[in-house]
Amino acid sequence: MPSYKCPKNHESTESDFCSVCGAKIQGSPEVTTAVQKTATLTCPDCSAPHDPHSGNFCEICGYNFTSGAHGDLPPANITPTPLLKQEELTSSIGEKTHLTWAVVATVDPSLYEEGSPQPPTNQAPIIFHLEKENNLIGRSSSRRGIYPEVDLDFDDAVSHRHALLSCQPDGTLIVRDIGSTNGTKLNGVELTAMIDAPIKEGDELTLGHWTRMTVVAANS
């Protein structure tokens, strides 16, 4: 009989919810085989995938998987990542997409609002290639050990852990504001924290004082 590990480390005979304690089993086995990983958990706080071998803490929000202690983020209303349907998965495995994503961050002085510091004039556009499955948008902090993939240090209204760009197994990209202080706008529309929004080439994210990011797709 197949068995699944639940977040509380029970051996579950059911794949969706633990057959012992009823806890939601994150990252169903179908999904994990599709992305060629052994077993991943999903962080109950920010729902980012978590590889148990990489340690006890969620790399995105700092949730402690052993003690259940919350990270920096206030525990928010979680909308669990909708698990991909089986057929979507199989089809995506068949025809491998070679799409890779990048975002270009620029300082846009037109986003300046009263109260913000004057935008720097010498900030050149930065291209961030999204090489990982999950890419944190934020500001680095050596004290807190935060080193975002999309590092927007020049804008101090960007939260250290601001949002997440996740490359999906089917080749699409989603953005999720992970409870940032000042919010994120997608094409001018405020995102709801912890709700995934699919994004495509040309979409623009605005955040912080005056940071504008454009999504770019590149064939590799």
Partner 1 sequence: MSTQFKAEVFQNQYLPQGAKEVHAIMTVTAEGSEGVAGTHTGGSLFGVICDTSGSMGGQKIYAAKEAMVKVVNLLPDDCAFFIVTGSSSARVIFPVSIATPQNKERACGVIKAGLDAHGGTVISTWLTEALQQFNKMAGAVRQALLLTDGQNDVSDEQQLNTVLQACEGVFQCDCRGVGTDWRVKQLQQISHKLLGTTDIIPNASMIEADFRAILEKAMSKSISDVALRLWTPQSARVLFCKQVSPDIVELTHRGKLVKPQVNDYPTGAWGKSESRDFHFCIEVQPGNVGDEMLAGRASLIYTVNGVETKVAEARILVTWTDDDAKSTKIDKRVAHYTGQAELAQNIQEGLEARAQGNIEVATAKLGKAVKIAHNSGNESTAKLLRTVVDIVDAETGTVRIKKSVAKEDEMALESRSTKTSRIPKSS
Task: Assign 151 to helix, strand or coil.
Answer: strand
Q: What's the CA gap between 178 and 198, in Å, rounded?
A: 15
Identity of the residue, 16 or 156, whose beta carbon is nearer to partner 1 in the bound complex: 16
Identity of the residue, 72 or 149, whose beta carbon is nearer to partner 1 in the bound complex: 72
- Write down the least CB distance from residue 14 to partner 1, Å: 8
- Write down the least CB distance from residue 161 to partner 1, Å: 16
Identity of the residue, 5 or 129, whose beta carbon is nearer to partner 1 in the bound complex: 5
Q: What's the CA gap between 152 and 137, in Å, rounded?
A: 7
State which amino acid sits at residue 122: N
- Write down the least CB distance from residue 158 to partner 1, Å: 24
CB-based contact 152:136 (threshold 8 Å): no
Residues 6+ apart with CB under 8 A from 31: 83, 84, 89, 169
- Write down the least CB distance from residue 12 to partner 1, Å: 10
Q: What's the CA gap between 158 and 154, in Å, rounded?
A: 9
Identity of the residue, 76 or 126, whose beta carbon is nearer to partner 1 in the bound complex: 76
- Write down the least CB distance from residue 172 to partner 1, Å: 24
Residues 6+ apart with CB under 8 A from 114: none
Q: What is the DSSP string of 53-111?
A: GG-SB-TTT--BTTT----SSPP----PPPPPPHHHHHHHHHS---EEEEEEEEE-GGG
Identity of the residue, 81 or 211, whose beta carbon is nearer to partner 1 in the bound complex: 81
Query: Sign of torsion, CA 78 140 203 174?
Result: negative
Q: How many CA atoms lie within 13 A of 202 on its CB side?
A: 0
**Footprint of partner 1 on this chain (CB under 8 A)?**
14, 16-24, 44-45, 68, 75-78, 80
- Write down the least CB distance from residue 182 to partner 1, Å: 21
Identity of the residue, 46 or 213, whose beta carbon is nearer to partner 1 in the bound complex: 46
